[in-house]
């Protein structure tokens, strides 16, 4: 079986790959996008080597439907532009070609390349060392070994419908293992975001992380703070939206990555009450996964509200928050200030943070009114509040799940449809009068959309 070199260096002589013939795998052309096949055949007819690569091959092998079909070839970017007139060049660190098709379909094509990192000295423990230049063309073997995980380094070729495996990725797929290619210490030092990808693929596929890879993550997780905030934020939300945020969080907690990304949770996941906080947090992430598993997409303000609720209960004793008068508004301002502070590392927009604070600040009020059990439902004065719809949906979501007879039972589709609608702009823009107010709602004027992340 071919395997990645232990020392993280490219082999002096290109290794002989393992070829998995069509009779030994279940990948069929009928499961590959027609547009991707057109690109592959066009490149072949032009005299170039071209393979379906990466996550598309991995997902097809596992019987899943890939979100994207990427292609690698020996054709250079300039040659690709001549072959595909319906294309454009993108990318800064390395030039890719996007081929456009009717209906908005895009196939990305890259030239085989290698990583300079294998030949660079040093351990990469500085901002300057992270994400070195990546502009060296290579051959298929070099292209396989420069990838992050063995399961992402597989090629599928259309001549004989075979899988080409340089790194042992097929065996790792069969055994359910996530393994870094090369020396994981060196690979993580060069790009710490790779650690997030390890956890993502382990969580989404219910795989185990190989021991050397796992131990290296524990040693290097703090280096995630060296990465650009925008990259970390995008990867973080990608995992929250990936329908596997609960298993992702378990792995992130166990590896130490979770408290690097969300340091405000550290004392609550390490103290005597850690089990309670962990259970609450994982339960809320389970809600997110159930909704995404039903094909809906939660807006970022709800994702963050569910994520921060256990912290708010532990940090600010949310359940005992005052509900009326000046004390209620003082608590609301305190909550908003703390949310501003803890979300700085993720660079979340002001508008999103306002809605998150609104949902959390008013949750005790809705719990209190619900316990009264009024025959007519919610009181009229509460229904008139600008924040009522958004907060009522959030409350119903939490309690719909609590009352569900089965932990993984589908959530009421009507409720899912309601909570995935855009929140009321009125609740984020209107500043309620303190005079005569009966709840802790607050908001300040803000520009821009309610749910967008801060534009860079």
Catalytically annotated residue among 143, 148, 183, 185: 148
User: DSSP per residue over 168-221, as a string?
Assistant: SHHHHHHHTEE-BSS-HHHHHHH-TTHHHHHHHHHHHHTPEEPHHHHHHHHHHG
DSSP tag of 388: H
* Structural Rg of the chain based on CA atoms: 25
C-alpha distances (whole Å) from 151 to each of 53, 132, 154, 159, 423 are 10, 23, 7, 22, 40
- The structure tokens listed for 138 are 């290579």
Cα first-last separation, the chain: 45
Does the annotation count 59 as an active-site position?
no
Q: What values do phi and psi take at 104, rounded to 5?
A: 85, 5
Question: Scanning the structure block, which residue is given the tokens 């984020």?
Answer: 428
> 218 CB contacts (<8 Å, ≥6 apart)?
255, 256
Does the annotation count 70 as an active-site position?
yes
- Residue 440 near residue 329, CB atoms below 8 Å: yes
- Residue 359 near residue 305, CB atoms below 8 Å: yes
Does the annotation count 191 as an active-site position?
no
- The structure tokens listed for 285 are 């992430």
User: DSSP per residue over 349-362, as a string?
Assistant: -HHHHHHHHHHHHH
Catalytically annotated residue among 70, 165, 172, 191: 70
| Residue 147 host element (H or E) | none
Q: Which residues does the annotation mark as catalytic?
A: 68, 70, 148
């Amino acid at each position: 079986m071919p395997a990645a070199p232990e020392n993280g260096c490219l082999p002096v002589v290109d290794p002989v790959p393992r070829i998995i013939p069509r009779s030994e795998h279940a990948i069929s052309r009928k499961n590959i996008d027609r547009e991707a096949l057109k690109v592959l055949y066009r490149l072949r007819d032009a005299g170039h080597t071209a393979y379906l690569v990466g996550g598309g091959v991995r997902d097809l092998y596992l019987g899943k439907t890939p979100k994207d079909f990427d292609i690698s070839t020996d054709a250079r970017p300039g040659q690709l532009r001549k072959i595909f007139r319906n294309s454009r060049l993108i990318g800064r660190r390395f030039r890719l070609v996007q081929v456009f098709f009717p209906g908005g379909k895009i196939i990305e094509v890259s030239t085989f390349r290698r990583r300079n990192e294998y030949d660079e000295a040093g351990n990469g423990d500085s901002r300057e060392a992270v994400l070195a230049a990546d502009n060296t063309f290579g051959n298929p073997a070099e292209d396989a070994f420069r990838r992050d995980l063995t399961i992402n380094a597989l090629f599928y070729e259309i001549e004989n419908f075979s899988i080409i495996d340089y790194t042992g990725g097929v065996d790792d797929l069969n055994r359910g293992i996530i393994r870094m290619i090369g020396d994981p210490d060196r690979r993580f030092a060069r790009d710490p975001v790779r650690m997030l990808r390890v956890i993502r693929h382990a969580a989404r596929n219910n795989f185990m992380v190989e021991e050397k890879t796992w131990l290296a993550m524990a040693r290097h997780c703090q280096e995630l703070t060296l990465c650009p905030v925008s990259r970390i934020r995008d990867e973080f939300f990608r995992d929250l939206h990936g329908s596997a945020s609960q298993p992702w969080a378990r792995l992130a907690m166990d590896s130490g990555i979770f408290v690097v990304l969300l340091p405000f949770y550290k004392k609550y996941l390490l103290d005597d009450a850690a089990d309670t906080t962990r259970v609450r947090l994982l339960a809320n992430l389970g809600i997110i996964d159930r909704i995404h598993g039903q094909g809906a997409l939660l807006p970022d303000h709800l994702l963050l509200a569910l994520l921060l609720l256990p912290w708010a209960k532990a940090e600010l004793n949310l359940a005992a928050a005052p509900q009326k008068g000046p004390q209620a508004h003082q608590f609301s301002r305190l909550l908003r200030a703390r949310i501003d502070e803890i979300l700085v590392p993720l660079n979340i927009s002001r508008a999103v943070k306002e809605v998150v604070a609104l949902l959390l600040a008013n949750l005790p009020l809705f719990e209190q009114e619900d316990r009264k059990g009024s025959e007519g439902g919610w009181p009229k004065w509460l229904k008139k509040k600008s924040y009522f719809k958004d907060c009522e949906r959030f409350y119903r979501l939490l309690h719909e799940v609590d009352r569900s007879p089965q932990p993984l039972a589908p959530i009421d589709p009507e409720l899912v449809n309601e909570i995935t609608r855009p929140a009321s702009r009125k609740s984020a823009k209107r500043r309620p009068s303190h005079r005569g107010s009966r709840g802790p709602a607050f908001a300040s004027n803000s520009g821009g959309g309610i749910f967008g992340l801060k534009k860079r």
